[in-house]
Amino acid sequence: VAPVVEKGAKSRRLYLPAGTWFDWWNGRKFEGPRWIERPVDLGMLPLYVRAGAILPLDPVRQYTGERVTEPTTLRVYPGANGTFTLYDDDGQTLGYRDGSDPATVWLRMNWDEANRRLVLESDQRMEKWPGVSRAFNIEVVGINRTPPQIQFKGERTEVRF
């Protein structure tokens, strides 16, 4: 249950469970379990991401079917191994149910902490890659360099950091 912010509150006391956590807004790293005091305001919800998380961030859209030309950003939070499966379809039809949507994609992402490597590959649920290319910018939190952009075309792809 989320705590209610009192009127005029300038900070919140939050509990972080065991593990490594990152502040969403500034990338600052915290080790749990522990309580922390976090400054707050109306525009900044306290948000923490566990190490090993892989978060896809798409460009802003005004509606589901809006086409965008910018790549999806994959934000990786280092400190632990992590896995994420991206599911995407045309956003318009029910074709995903019977396989008639040629745009349906299942994409598996694995972060290998020991080797500082992100692997992208078609998920086992994909019978056949639909022949599309997906552009991704890859950011690893705490690494200050221009994110590499990759074009994923259904074949196993590795990016090392």
One-letter amino acid of 30: F
Tens-digit pLDDT profile for residues 54-106? 999 999 989 877 888 899 999 999 999 999 999 988 778 888 777 777 778 89
Tens-digit pLDDT profile for residues 92-110? 888 877 777 777 889 999 9
Highest mean pLDDT among 8-12, 48-52, 65-69, 132-136 belongs to 48-52
Evaluate whether 147 touches 139 at the Cβ level (below 8 Å). yes
Where helices occur in 75-116 by DSSP H, the ranges are none
Mean pLDDT of the chain: 89
Work out the percent of the chain whose per-residue pLDDT is above 70: 95
